[in-house]
């Protein structure tokens, strides 16, 4: 079923932010944003010949707003990273369209891991990786829909399949961030313990 990963992950994020995080504006913002994304996900609008899911528009607005406060140099660098992710996203989908034989595992997972790898290699700021990946994938989805329109293919930009891919990618990035933090914690703990023994 298309969209199942998106709904599961979105509901898990909402439950975590609502019941686990401390009361703050951040918790309220995350809870509201996730709930709005879940609510608008089944709806699409028509812009000319394009059918666009409302969720992808929300993604573009939210991610762009979160990057506004960055310095000009950071914005330029993140723009290059985002465009790289966009090109990778579109290239994967076009390869899949014209030569689907080479896909040896589920496309969602394969594309998600490619995006995670790119984000990990390109973006040092671990907290900004999810934003850049979602923005890059959203731009890639728009570009892919534009390319398909020239071939007269019917395609919903921001479909449930796209939402699954962005949800899986974001979840894997967050889990990887957790693993990195855990590794740093144990590294500091063992270094501190060894120094105390030596002292």
User: Rounded CA gap, 129 and 135, in Å?
Assistant: 10
Which pLDDT does position 58 carry in this prediction? 93
Which pLDDT does position 194 carry in this prediction? 65
| Angle, CA of 104, 83 and 152, to the nearest 5° | 65
pLDDT in tens, 175-184: 988 888 888 8
Q: How large is the average pLDDT for residues 119-147?
A: 91
Does the residue 163 lie in any domain? yes
pLDDT in tens, 1-13: 788 999 999 999 9
Mean pLDDT of the chain: 88
Does the residue 196 lie in any domain? no
Q: How many residues does the chain have?
A: 199
Task: Yes or no: say if 3 and 164 are a contact pair by the CB < 8 Å rule.
Answer: yes
Does the residue 91 lie in any domain? yes
Does the residue 192 lie in any domain? no
Tokens of 59: 């993604």
What's CA 91's distance to the chain center, in Å? 17
List C-alpha distances in Å: 120 to 174, 178, 180, 189: 11, 14, 12, 25
Buried b or exposed e, range 161-197, using 16+ CB within 10 angstroms:
bbbbbbbbbbbbbeeeeeeeeeeeeeeeeeeeeeeee
Does the residue 132 lie in any domain? yes
Which pLDDT does position 106 carry in this prediction? 83
User: Rounded CA gap, 163 and 40, in Å?
Assistant: 12
Does the residue 113 lie in any domain? yes
Tell me the pTM.
Answer: 0.87
Which pLDDT does position 150 carry in this prediction? 85
- Please report which confidence band the pLDDT of residue 189 belongs to, taking 50, 70 and 90 as the band edges: confident
Which pLDDT does position 3 carry in this prediction? 85
Does the residue 41 lie in any domain? yes
| Angle, CA of 155, 158 and 8, to the nearest 5° | 125
Percent above pLDDT 70 for the chain: 96
Alpha carbons within 13 angstroms on the beta-carbon side of residue 25 total 0
Alpha carbons within 13 angstroms on the beta-carbon side of residue 170 total 24
Which pLDDT does position 198 carry in this prediction? 66
Domain count, the chain: 1
Does the residue 198 lie in any domain? no
Which structural domain range is residue 159 located in?
Answer: 4-187
Helical segments of the chain, H only: 4-19, 25-40, 54-67, 72-98, 107-122, 129-150, 160-198
pLDDT in tens, 34-82: 999 999 999 999 988 899 999 999 999 999 998 888 889 999 999 999 9
The yes-or-no verdict on residue 165 having pLDDT over 90 is yes
Task: Yes or no: say if 46 and 40 are a contact pair by the CB < 8 Å rule.
Answer: no
pLDDT in tens, 26-37: 889 989 999 999
Percent above pLDDT 90 for the chain: 57
């Amino acid at each position: 079923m298309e969209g199942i990963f998106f709904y599961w992950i979105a509901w898990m994020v909402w439950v975590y932010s609502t019941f686990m995080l401390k009361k703050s504006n951040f918790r309220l913002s995350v809870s509201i944003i996730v709930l709005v994304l879940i609510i608008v996900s089944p709806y699409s609008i028509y812009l000319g010949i394009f059918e666009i899911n409302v969720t992808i528009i929300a993604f573009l607005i939210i991610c762009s707003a979160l990057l506004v406060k960055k310095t000009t140099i950071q914005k330029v660098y993140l723009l290059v990273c985002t465009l790289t992710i966009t090109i990778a996203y579109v290239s994967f989908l076009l390869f899949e369209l014209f030569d689907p034989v080479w896909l040896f595992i589920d496309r969602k997972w394969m594309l998600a891991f490619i995006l995670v790898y790119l984000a990990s290699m390109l973006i040092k700021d671990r907290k900004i990786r999810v934003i850049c990946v979602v923005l890059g994938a959203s731009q890639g989805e728009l570009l892919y829909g534009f390319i398909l329109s020239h071939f007269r293919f019917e395609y919903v930009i921001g479909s449930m399949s796209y939402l699954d891919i962005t949800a899986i990618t974001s979840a894997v990035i967050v889990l990887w961030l957790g693993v990195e933090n855990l590794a740093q914690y144990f590294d500091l703990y063992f270094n501190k313990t060894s120094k105390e023994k030596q002292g």
